[in-house]
Amino acid sequence: MARCETTQDPATAAAPPDIETMRETVDRLLGPDAAPDALPPSAGEVDTLTRTMRGQLELLIPDVERSVGGRPKNVSQYCALACVGEARGKLSAEPGQGTSGAVAYARRLARVLNALCDHYERLGNQHE
């Protein structure tokens, strides 16, 4: 009987998430100069960073879930799935009024994106 092997086309294979770029985005809002009362240079930058992080979260959430691989088997996996739930909650929330509300929302996204990056790295893509 002939053995049938399937290979994924490299052109359609999903690339791993770019954790380094995600962390750079986070640092723009949570870096050492980003004290609670320090605002980013412009409302446009906050909007751009918010949209970028939303997209990054939407890409990273399924990868973290795949890393867990179904039912969690240990504390790290449970925590990762809890963080996924938190990230989904942040994605469904709306920013508050004005620039300070937009900045606060962007920083909440940044914190949960940073945490998801940590979980992704900690899990080491165990599903493979």
- Quote the pLDDT of residue 31: 75
pLDDT for 60 beyond 60: yes
Question: Distances in Å between the alpha carbon of 118 and those of 19, 36, 123, 128?
Answer: 9, 23, 9, 18
Single pTM value for the model: 0.81
How many other C-beta atoms can be found within 10 angstroms of the C-beta atom of residue 64? 22
Among the residues of 69-125, which ranges form H helices? 75-92, 98-123
Give me the mean pLDDT over the 62-91 stretch: 95
In contact, 99 and 43? CB cutoff 8 Å:
yes
Report long-range pairs for 7-11 (Cβ below 8 Å, ≥24 apart).
none
What's the start-to-end Cα distance of the chain, in Å? Answer: 28
Give me the mean pLDDT over the 72-81 stretch: 95
- Quote the pLDDT of residue 38: 65
- Quote the pLDDT of residue 52: 96
pLDDT for 111 beyond 80: yes
- Quote the pLDDT of residue 41: 60
pLDDT digits (tens, 9 = 90+) for 19-33: 999 999 998 888 766
Cα gap 75→111, rounded to integer Å: 20
Residue 15 sits at the vertex; the CA angle it makes with 46 and 81, to the nearest 5 degrees, is: 70
- Quote the pLDDT of residue 37: 63
pLDDT grade, residue 9 (50/70/90)? very low
pLDDT for 6 beyond 50: no
pLDDT grade, residue 127 (50/70/90)? very low
Cα gap 70→13, rounded to integer Å: 21
In contact, 25 and 49? CB cutoff 8 Å:
yes
